[in-house]
Amino acid sequence: MTGNITALERDGDFVFLRDLYPEEEIPTVLKMTKKQFGKILTDWEDKVIKLKPKEVIIIYENDQFTIETIN
């Protein structure tokens, strides 16, 4: 079974996101702090839910997650 279902797990001060049904042999797991997760959720609402762009890019650089969109 494949799909785009994401699992969220919390362990201490960290949040882990992963594909529930990964197609990769070694699945990707995204690890971030609770603070980073809160910011990315706020940015997602402001930049994705409200604006409905055609493309969304999440960038991780210098210990920060940013969301870029393309209309």
Residue 3: band (very low, low, confident or very high) from pLDDT cuts 50, 70, 90? low
Instruction: Convert the pLDDT of each residue in 29-53 to its tens digit.
Output: 999 999 999 999 999 999 999 999 9
pTM, entire model:
0.76
Q: In 1-71, which ranges are continuous DSSP H helix?
A: 34-44
3-class SS shares of the chain: helix, strand, coil, % to 5: 25, 45, 35
Question: CA-CA distance, 8 to 30, in Å (whole number)?
Answer: 10
Mean pLDDT within 52-69 = 93
